[in-house]
Amino acid sequence: MDAKPHIKETDFTPEGPQPLVREIAPGAAYPVHALGPLRPAVEAVQGMTQAPMAIPAQSALAVASLAVQGFADVETLDGPRPTSLYAMTVARSGERKSSCDAPFMAELRAYEREQSKAFREDFRAWENEQALWDGARKKILDDSKKTKGEKHTEVQADLEALGQAPIAPVVPDRTVTEPTFEGLTKLFAHGQPSLGLFSDEGGQFLGGHAMKSENRQKTLAAFNDLWQGNPIRRTRSGDGHATQFGRRLAVHLMVQPTVARDFMADPLAADTGFLPRFLICEPPSTIGTRMQANARRNDKALANFAARLRHILESPLPMDPETRELQPRTLHLTPDARTLLEAFADAIEAAQAPGGSLAHITGTASKAAEQAARIAGVLTLWRDLQAPAVEACDMADAIALAQFYLSEASRLASAATVSAEMVIPPESKGLHK
């Protein structure tokens, strides 16, 4: 087995002289062959919509990540990490982003609707139980004030006999679209420990309250912690301090190019490590070529995807019943899979040296091997939630996908670069020598 990924300078470096403001060179074709068990559904959606292949691929990966992230962390070269993926799809209006996203989200939305109906019924029952419990507790305390001779131990015994307050039903929502940091932590506290931030209008989040100047650094730090699998720590004067362990978040933002450019140009987004955690792509447009005669349907592939998603959603998450802290197992790598990942990591490391093809995106490049491991974990668990380890075939596919996203990051970063000639007018050169 050839354990060395095929990485060339031309995979990442634009050829030829660069203009002052670089045009965006066409991106590489999406390696749909590397999507493993997700490939049939992705090709089915692309066949119906005739959108760029990368758009349904991003949706499928994000939904699969949301589905499996609560069950297992994946072994990486630096220890276990979540199988959570952050994805950003850059495409202008008319590229059929929503049409690509809807088939993958359909079963999730149906599941949320069903659970929401049950939640409303459970919540009404809980309100009645809570009212009775509150009344009983108040009576015990009021009676203790009237009966001055009653001992403290007797009151305590009555309170203990009353038992704990009824436990409120858990909010069933699995997805949010435009959360603030406070709103997200509240949902993690009272809802599911595995959530997804999914929006086919991602500009609403990137331009919303959570990303305003006074909130941006806090929000970026929180999302970075969630990607790492770190606990969420929140301190407020009114609510006190709270720490939530074992929470997971998957993200897919579909954004317009102008919104993406503005956000990617923000030094804080890059310097905090927020952007380097994203699998970003901006596929070539297919507008003008999407003729109805070329449309293809594969209802069986979509039905299989929906059935698999439903099965995973209905599988109980491994968690502490009281704190709802996720307790995912570790999905290990087979020796061959680890060998492939090590070779990929070494190749990427060498390309980050000064003058190397990835020296301009070291933040993203340094996470490429971990991204490959995460993708491999998602592909493995989607196929088999009980799989004992990541096999070499899934790791090879994940490396191909990670390499594609790395080439996209390099291409988009290079296109956004403004040369020194634009920053300092030629006639001003030499003034400060």
Q: What is the pLDDT of residues 65-110, one digit of tens each?
A: 999 999 999 999 999 999 999 999 999 999 999 999 999 999 999 9
Condensed to tens digits (0 to 9), the pLDDT of residues 214-261 reads: 888 888 988 999 999 999 877 564 555 678 899 999 999 999 998 888
**Which of the pair, 186 or 247, is modelled with greater confidence?**
247
List the single range of 7-11, 27-31, 54-58 with lowest mean pLDDT.
Answer: 7-11
Highest mean pLDDT among 116-130, 276-290, 412-426: 276-290
pLDDT at 417: 52
Region of residue 163 (left: phi > 0; alpha: psi -120 to 50; beta: else): left
**Residue the block writes with tokens 């999406």:** 30
pLDDT band at 407 (very low <50, low <70, confident <90, very high): very high
DSSP per-residue letters across 149-206: T--HHHHHHHHHHH-SPPPPPPB---EESS--HHHHHHHHHHB-SEEEEEETTTHHHH
For residue 188, give both structure tokens. Answer: 């993690």
pLDDT reported for residue 419 = 31
Q: What pairs with residue 90 in β-bridges?
A: 255
pLDDT of residue 16: 47
Residue 199 phi/psi, 5-degree rounding, is: -150, 125
pLDDT band at 150 (very low <50, low <70, confident <90, very high): low
Cα(171)–Cα(237) distance, rounded to whole angstroms? Answer: 25
Q: Are 323 and 245 in contact (CB under 8 A)?
A: yes
Band (pLDDT 50/70/90 cuts) for residue 40 is very high
Mean pLDDT of the chain: 86
Q: Which two tokens stand for residue 70?
A: 């609560």
Reported as type and span, the H/E element at residue 332 is strand 329-333
Query: Amino acid identity of 313?
Result: L
**169 or 232, which is more confident:** 232
> Among candidates 330, 85, 79, which has minimal Cα distance to 223?
85
Q: Would you mind telling me the total number of residues written for the chain in this entry?
A: 433
Q: 313 and 111 in contact (C-beta within 8 Å)?
A: yes
Residue range 156-184: mean pLDDT, rounded: 81
CB 87 within 8 A of CB 253: yes
d(CA 56, CA 98): 10
pLDDT(24) > 70:
no
pLDDT tens digit sequence for 372-388: 999 999 999 999 999 99
How confident is the model over 254-275, as a mean pLDDT?
A: 88
Least confident of 265-269, 294-298, 414-418: 414-418
Can you tell me the distance from the alpha carbon of 33 to that of 39, in angstroms, rounded to the nearest whole number? 7
Structural domains of the chain, ranges and CATH numbers in brackets: 11-18+33-118+168-419 (3.40.50)
